[in-house]
Structure 1
Amino acid sequence: MKTVDIPLVRLRCVAMTMVSHDPPGSVSDSMLREPPAQPEPPTRRRRLRVSIQSKLLVMLLATSVLSSAVVGVIGYESGRSSLRASVFDRLTEIRQSQTRQLEGGISDLENSLVVYSRGTTATEAVEAFTVGFDDLSSATISPAQQQALDDYYTKRFAKDKKEQTGEDFDVTGLVPTTPAARYLQAHYTAPFGYLDQPEVDWDAVIANDDAHDGSSWSAANAAYNGFFRELVTRFKYEDALLLDTRGNVIYTAYKGVDLGTNILTGPYKGSDLNGAFQRAIDAGSKDYVGVTDFGEYRPSTEPTAWFVAPVGPPGQVKGVMALQFPVSKINEMMTMGGHWKDAGMGDTGETIIVGPDDLMRSNTRLFIENPEEYRREVVEAGTPPDIADDAIRQHGTTLVQPVATQSAKYAEQGQQGTLIADDYLGNESLQAYAPVHIPGLRWGVVAKIDTSEAFAPVTAFTKQLVVSTVLIILAVSVAALLLARLFVRPIRRLEAGAEQVSTGVYGTTIPVETRDEFGDLTVAFNEMSRNLAIKEDLLEEHRREIDRMMASMMPETVMTRYRDGEETIASDHQDVTVIFAQVAGLDDVSADLTSEESLLIVNKLVHQFDLAAQRLGIERVRSLRNGYLATCGLNVPRIDQVRRTVDFALEMHRIVVRFNGTDGTSLELKAAIHSGTVSSGLVGRASPVYDIWGETVDLVYRVQAETPDAGVFVTSTVHDAMDDSASFTEADPITVAGHPQPTWRLAVSS
């Protein structure tokens, strides 16, 4: 429905015209004058009437006075600096506490590793596992064990890696090839794959002390596995590895896919463990502990850091102990065990670790509390959606979430301090930053909290100050509000009426309750609304009539495009079946009839043709006095468009036969059918006509015109499409472009 927009500005302009002091007899005065039947004395009207301009001036004056009072009273900056400093000091204190805890925790683990690696147990274990590993240099496994090992890599390890990365993982080149690695993984790794279970039972793996295969390696495992199991479970390490001086992984607590491989030449030589191992060997007998940053270690399904130390008595290096440090321990320290509020971080505060690559080394608070909300906010802040999805898939933000903030850059440069800037979530926040002093690591710690929460005390202070001032002027404000509501009430009624008219609700009337300019404006508005309603009814009736006429002339989709203003409307259609039919003998019947009687016969036939077309899904293009052009599959694609058109032709024949029987005529149907590509559109500009054209249409006209006899004739395309579902007899071919075009006549019942 077309609507008429009556802006409020326009009403206001009329109102201003009303309050202008025009001399009596002017246009505005005559428009606003009360009806002559009940004139009001001019002197009385001037005495009681208060102009809108005066009311607005009073309200503006009152608003200005009150605004000046509020601005003068509110001391927003009072106490703001001290409160802000207090918030920064608290955040810095939390950052320092978390940094000390992280540095102290790493230092304790390093000292513990020195004690364990230099102890007799670790030394004897390395010696025993080295001997056992060398004894397996020519060990063999059965074909069944080899198959189980292959299945473990393809059905368990590759599956776990795909869940981690979201991509197919190729295990080619990872299946062990050395006798020792094959033997150990066949006896200690593959049997615990549990391919029918969601995951490996790692508790059962680490609890397995002896495979009872009689090897010296199994004897060493039976003797020392309990020691390393206690070490791993008590300190919550991800795994514990023993390596000989040649780089062979001679023992792992959890017996993963790295058992028996060589860290220098094997499939996992590209990990950070390679360099850490070589540095530990080069350190010799010193109390050396190497720490690596978190990085990818393909045998593991999460980012891995390493604590590496040489093993052996003073003055000797028998091997290397490598403890796989899980990211969960870092998260436990940085997330305060999930008790952020108890630690003074409120609802939005958190502490994160950032590496030199600007990637997180810990999980974020929002990710832990609401992963979906985390994804939405980081993507809105500029993080690529695939990175956010990787974090959710890997159950953590370590080495995934970028933190390209200024505070992280300052911390990486060794600086410490505080600032206010946008964080990785795109929120403005207070940030306290500092580097972490751990040898071998270039980490920075950033403690942050949203400014909206951090400055809540400042906001509360300001609110208290404002409230105390507002109470003083409350009485004046209430009086002003009451007057404003009284003045604005007529305007609001007019505004509501204008909105209704703008949405198409014509005929809206507003009660006249005042005898001032608002009353005059309301009367004018009601008159305008009534006139618009009458005109809209006339326009709507005209539109409906036009729509009915256009719907009979063209398809709905074409009509919509034409009404939208398109000038050239044409479309190409594939797989369309076209039929053109004429009623032979109609001229002879009409010769002895009046034009009205002749047209009555034509309309009767066309009406029945149209009903049959509607029932069979045939789209009529146009109908003339003695010609009927229709299609199937033109605007509504159909897979059985050929069959429908043939059925329509048969129905047209039956209609003509029935007409002959009831009216005593001798009419015959002469029709042609062809299927192919068709173009359609509106032809003409001033008086557009919907039509179809193309080789398919031309061929239908040729077949219909050149076949001398009555009947339904089809081309090869239609004949082949119908197969055996209809009976045809071969008819005389027609010549198209110098080539004969075979035609067939459809067998119809009389």
Structure 2
Amino acid sequence: MTDASSPTDPIPPSDGAREHGQRDHIGATSPRRGRFPGFLTRGSLDVQSKLLVMLLAVSVLAALVVGAVGYLNGRDSLQAAALNQVTSLREARITELKRSFTQFTDTVVAQTRNASVIGATKAFESGWDELRNRPVSNADRQKVDDWYADTLVPQLDRASGGTADPQQFAPTSDPQAYLQARYTAPFTDYDEAIAQDDAGDGSAWSKAHAEYQPYFKQAVETVGYEDLLLMNTDGDVVYSAYSGADLGTNLDDGPYRESNLATGYRDALRLTTSDGFVVTDFQRYVPSLNVPTLWVMSPVGEDGKVIGVLAVQVPLALISAVMTGDQGWKADGLGDTGESYLVGDDRLMRSYPRQLLQHPAQYERDVVAAGTAPAVAKRQVQVKGSVLLQEVDTTPVSRALQGKTGTVIDSDYRGKEVLAAYAPLEVDGLRWVVVAQMDTSEAFAPVNTFARNLALALVGIIVLVSLLSLVLAQVFVRPIRRLQRAVNRVSAGELGVEVRTKAGDEIGDLGLAFNDMSRSLQVKQDLLDEQRRQNDSLLLTMMPEDVAKRYKQGDDTIAADHQDVAVVYADLIGFDDFAKGLSAEESLALVNDLWRSLDEAAGRYGIERVRTTRAGYLASCGLSVPRVDNVRRVVEWAEESQRVLERFNGQHGSRVGLRAGIDAGQVTSGLVGRASLVYDMWGDAVNLAYRVQGIAPSPGVYATQRVVDKLGDRDGIVDAGEVQTQSGPQRIWKLEQVQS
């Protein structure tokens, strides 16, 4: 607010002058008033155009709202149905996979308790021991080496895409070389090898092979094993149904000692009962040409003693048949994109994806676009499989590996948005993940079709409504134009104009209302006269009656001198800091509330407000009505104003103070200005009161010596310094509040 001013500066009247000037225009009529609202002006639309736009907007909006509600509800329903479908598929696949594994492992365990398997294990072990003492000819060794170099390694290189060294697979024992020379090397195809029962060498091992090979061959072909092996307790593979490269190898120190076959074999030996079994996770196995291989193993026992281990290679077709439903996706209600698949804890697939089986070229493009290495994608298409090749690092897999079960809409391994149901799968020690999914593009296809139909219907509605709106607009606008012509006649000064109309709708009611308006113009004129009288009353609230009378008479200069008038100028301290966080409207409203409270106090003490600004309040006592105790009344009003501010601070948590200056003496009052008049007061007493309130920065009531002398023996008067005036220094006193 204002802290100080020049001794000769008058109190700035600009704010009050503007305020009073605005009040002088109360009741004034704009030159444009009286024109009928809503008709065409330059740059705006006429009623007909607005009506046309309105009808179109309402129709289009209604269609859009109905379509949006239908679209969202349909999408939610389809989403719920699709998620229920993939969830059911997930549970069905888990149940079927567990059932298949249980059935498979039960079959393997039952085999180990079969007398033929027990007899075969003992017979092959005996034949193996006999071969330890039978020398191997150089011809046999060369035959085996040639088979590795000319048959196994080329096939392995083609299958794996690498380059293998034949020496790393070379036999490490005489029995291995002997058996592979007679049962492995003669054949280039495993189906030929399994068909041979007896090599005709007369050995005990060949005798056992001739006896038991038909049995194992039938078991392999009936159940669909990829291979069946027998190992003794020393780690030797003493029998292989297909007589592959692992025949005769040792799982403890041979070339396949790091394979899952060797790991599962060692775990199986540690089992304490022949009813137990071990299932290994998929791992690439060289004798199977590096194809991912899963083994089920169970110890072979006799009289409570483990005499060997039976290992069965689980066919990939078993898992694929379960996860693809024997490729009957559509029969399972999965449409063109639904599928289910397995993922291991290494985030690599354990089953075949649908798209790879049905559309390999598109599958390759999609997975490469989603981040799979082109060589890996190409390899999957070449081998027609993705086990241990395709990485699936997606949200469903991550959540399932954390042990969570649920559904989600997210991108899959192809980068396609899908509705997926996921769950962890714990089966026989394997930690896998089952995911069932369907592309959202297919799941929401009916909704998209509905959206297209809605768009076509919307276009038709717009055309139809446009034609209908043109006709209706003409009908609606015709009576309005008649009314417009009548309004123009009235605006030209013609009274008593009426339009031909009838009630029944809003336009008819408008015509009747216009006729009433035309007949009541004289009444309105009388009301204007009454308004002028009210303006006169308002004028009296802005200035004394004698001044107002002289002003209405047209006097150019209106002023009057007054003797012995008590003058007070009050200034708000700290309001700007309080109002920093407020808007302009909020700040002004609070100031107006303060002035209103001070005006009410002024009325009680006989104080006459001269004018106010946003910061200051100028008032007097004894100006219009002479009062003997005018000084006392002003001081009491100033103290009451301090209490008003204390209540304000308590209500708003502010620290606004009142700094008031009081003087008494001769003043002059009158109207100032021409275009915007303001009733003002000036003189030495006014100037000194203004300067007195600025003597100290802190709030309080400050008075001149003249005021203190009139107060008599009042308590709480403190010396506050002095100010210099044209007549010399003036002593200033601070009036402390006196407790009543």
Structure 1 length as normaliser, TM-score? 0.53
User: Which moves more between the two structures, 293-302 or 244-253?
Assistant: 293-302
* Paired residue type of 2:379: D
Q: Work out the CA distance in 2 between the residues paired with 1:478 and 1:376.
A: 51
Report whether the alignment pairs 1:274 with 2:270.
no
1:180 aligned residue: 175
Deviations along 1:30-86, whole A, 9 cap, x unmatched?
xxxxxxxxxxxxxxxxxxxxx9x99x9999888756643432332232344333212
1:103 aligned residue: 98
2:414 aligned residue: 425
Q: Among 338, 342, 345, which residue is 1:349 paired with?
A: 338
Q: Work out the CA distance in 2 between the residues paired with 1:364 and 1:414.
A: 23
Q: Among 215, 220, 233, which residue is 1:232 paired with?
A: 220
For residues 378 and 227 of structure 1, do their structure 2 counterparts lie closer, same or farther at Cα, with a shift above 3 Å needed? same
* Paired residue type of 2:319: I
1:72 aligned residue: 65
2:149 aligned residue: 154
Counterparts of 1:494-533 in structure 2 under 5 Å?
none
Q: Work out the CA distance in 1 between the residues paired with 2:223 and 2:209.
A: 20
Q: Work out the CA distance in 2 between the residues paired with 1:97 and 1:396.
A: 23
Report whether the alignment pairs 1:327 with 2:326.
no
For residues 58 and 130 of structure 1, do their structure 2 counterparts lie closer, same or farther at Cα, with a shift above 3 Å needed? same
Report whether the alignment pairs 1:125 with 2:120.
yes
Contact 1:249-1:258 within 8 A present in 2 as well: yes
* Paired residue type of 1:315: G
Q: Work out the CA distance in 2 between the residues paired with 1:271 and 1:81.
A: 49
Report whether the alignment pairs 1:169 with 2:158.
no
* Paired residue type of 2:119: E
Contact 1:361-1:399 within 8 A present in 2 as well: yes
Contact 2:60-2:462 within 8 A present in 1 as well: no
Q: Work out the CA distance in 1 between the residues paired with 2:51 and 2:144.
A: 92
* Paired residue type of 2:378: D
1:387 aligned residue: 376
SS of residue in 2 equivalent to 1:138: coil
Report whether the alignment pairs 1:303 with 2:292.
yes
Q: Work out the CA distance in 2 between the residues paired with 1:422 and 1:400.
A: 19
Q: CA deviation at 1:143?
A: 3.4
2:243 aligned residue: 255
Counterparts of 1:16-95 in structure 2 under 5 Å?
67-74=60-67, 75=69, 76-95=71-90
For residues 63 and 189 of structure 1, do their structure 2 counterparts lie closer, same or farther at Cα, with a shift above 3 Å needed? farther
1:285 aligned residue: 273
Q: Work out the CA distance in 2 between the residues paired with 1:429 and 1:405.
A: 11
Q: Work out the CA distance in 1 between the residues paired with 2:160 and 2:409.
A: 35
2:653 aligned residue: none
Q: Work out the CA distance in 1 between the residues paired with 2:102 and 2:169.
A: 35
Counterparts of 1:262-661 in structure 2 under 5 Å?
262-301=250-289, 302-460=291-449, 472-473=461-462, 475-476=464-465
Q: Work out the CA distance in 1 between the residues paired with 2:321 and 2:135.
A: 44
Contact 1:119-1:313 within 8 A present in 2 as well: no
Deviations along 1:225-283, whole A, 9 cap, x unmatched?
11111111111111000000000000000000110010111110000122211121111
Q: CA deviation at 1:395?
A: 2.6
The higher radius of gyration belongs to 2
Contact 2:261-2:295 within 8 A present in 1 as well: yes
User: Which moves more between the two structures, 160-169 or 301-310?
Assistant: 160-169
Q: CA deviation at 1:343?
A: 1.1
SS of residue in 1 equivalent to 2:283: coil
Q: CA deviation at 1:465?
A: 6.1
Q: Work out the CA distance in 1 between the residues paired with 2:115 and 2:73.
A: 68
Q: CA deviation at 1:205?
A: 1.1
Unmatched tracts of structure 1, length 5 or more: 1-50, 194-199, 482-750
Contact 1:247-1:263 within 8 A present in 2 as well: yes
User: Which moves more between the two structures, 141-150 or 216-225?
Assistant: 141-150
* Paired residue type of 2:102: S
Q: CA deviation at 1:470?
A: 6.1
Contact 2:407-2:421 within 8 A present in 1 as well: yes
Number of corresponding residues: 423
SS of residue in 2 equivalent to 1:443: strand
Q: Among 210, 217, 230, which residue is 1:242 paired with?
A: 230
SS of residue in 1 equivalent to 2:134: coil
Over the aligned positions, Cα root-mean-square deviation in angstroms equals 2.7
Higher relative contact order (CA 8 A, sep 6+): 2
* Paired residue type of 1:254: Y
2:531 aligned residue: none
SS of residue in 2 equivalent to 1:173: helix
Contact 1:436-1:442 within 8 A present in 2 as well: yes
For residues 250 and 428 of structure 1, do their structure 2 counterparts lie closer, same or farther at Cα, with a shift above 3 Å needed? same
Q: Work out the CA distance in 2 between the residues paired with 1:160 and 1:448.
A: 36
Q: Work out the CA distance in 2 between the residues paired with 1:474 and 1:231.
A: 75
